[in-house]
Amino acid sequence: MKFTKSRSLMNSITLTETSPQQHYLLWQRLQHLGRRLLNSLKTEEVELRVWSTHDRTGKTWWSADSNRTGKSIHNVSEDQIRRWIEKQQQS
């Protein structure tokens, strides 16, 4: 659904409605940024954090970040997260 142009000062702006999927992805990114911010403020740093999320179909997706390396991975399968964790432990 598109909003039509108005006669106000914002004549050149056209707004489009975002899908629920876009809202969900934005929410996940904001949550991730919030977690990283809180982690950086803690005095005691955690080397590796792992968490899961579920999509609308119920499928589980895994994410992790490493404060030690500064690397992160998001929304991957269980096998992929296991391989990533092993790689982080080796480096």
The model's pLDDT over 3-62, given as tens digits with 9 standing for 90+, comes to 444 444 455 555 566 677 778 888 888 888 888 787 766 655 668 889 999 999 999 999
Question: What pLDDT, on the 0 to 100 scale, is given for residue 5?
Answer: 45
Specify if 3 maps to a domain: no
Specify if 28 maps to a domain: yes
Specify if 2 maps to a domain: no
Cβ-based neighbours of 58, under 8 Å, separated by 6 or more: none
pTM reported for the whole predicted model = 0.52
Domain span at residue 48? 20-90
The answer to whether 47 touches 66, Cβ cutoff 8 Å, is yes
CA torsion 71-73-78-79 (nearest 10°) is -70
The model's pLDDT over 47-73, given as tens digits with 9 standing for 90+, comes to 888 999 999 999 999 999 988 888 999
Q: Tokens 């982690």 label which residue?
A: 39
Question: What pLDDT, on the 0 to 100 scale, is given for residue 82?
Answer: 95
The answer to whether 3 touches 15, Cβ cutoff 8 Å, is yes
Question: What pLDDT, on the 0 to 100 scale, is given for residue 86?
Answer: 92
Question: What gap in Å lies between CA 86 and CA 52, rounded to an integer?
Answer: 17
Question: What pLDDT, on the 0 to 100 scale, is given for residue 1?
Answer: 46
Number of domains in the chain: 1
